[in-house]
Amino acid sequence: MEIAVIGTGNIGRTLGEALAAAGHDIRYGSRTPEKSVREALDGAEAVIVGIPGQAVEDFARDHADELTGKVVIDAANKFGDGPAHSAAEFAVLAPGARYARAFNALGWENFADPVFDGVVADLFYSADETDRETVERLIRDVGLNPVYLGPGQHDLLDALLKLWFALAHGQGRGRHLAFKVL
């Protein structure tokens, strides 16, 4: 699958490397001129947004046409007041994008090393039913077990993000921490 990974920080780079190792064609887009976002989006079937959460609104506005018809997986988190997800921004600014929420409630370290004592970690996600197969494939190809929360469950997923931060940072357990449904 041709995948545009927008952002080359820890999240974008780690997800891109894992998906490339699984055989996907990865094209990165970032603010640096040699990594054009438009070039990365051209021909992509899916888009992973791994940029700072506060930059997502501008990204959706500036690239609405290129996002039309594509599965756009929002892995970015906005911190502060309001939701961490950007579902509303995509709905208004890039209504042709097929919005999904995944890769946001764990640290990048878990995408690089998703196995804990021989057990594969779970990754919760939200997407429309029509995009479920695509999102689950990408989650599996990163090495995680997908757990579907249903369509429009972005706030619930963001509650898991808060739980992950509370456990990883608030209780000093460290960032290599994940979830498993038993």
Q: Domains (ranges, CATH) in the chain?
A: 2-170 (3.40.50.720)
Mean pLDDT of 57-69: 97
Mean pLDDT of 64-81: 95
Above 70 in pLDDT, residue 34? no
Buried b (16+ CB within 10 A) or exposed e, 24-40: bebbbbbeeeebebeeb
Q: pTM for this one?
A: 0.95
Q: Could you tell me what percent of the chain has a pLDDT over 90?
A: 88
CB-based burial label for 153 (10 Å; 0-12, 13-18, 19+):
middle
Contact status, residue 115 vs residue 93, Cβ threshold 8 Å: no
- What are the CA-CA distances from residue 88 to residues 11, 39, 91, 128, 157 (Å)? 22, 25, 5, 15, 15
Q: CA 49, CA 47: separation in Å to the nearest integer?
A: 6
Interhelix angle 10-21/132-142, rounded to 10 degrees, is: 90
Pairing state between β 46-49 and 25-29:
unpaired
Select the more confidently predicted residue: 89 or 170.
Answer: 89
Above 70 in pLDDT, residue 111? yes
Q: Which residue has the tokens 């509650």?
A: 159
At 126 the pLDDT is 98
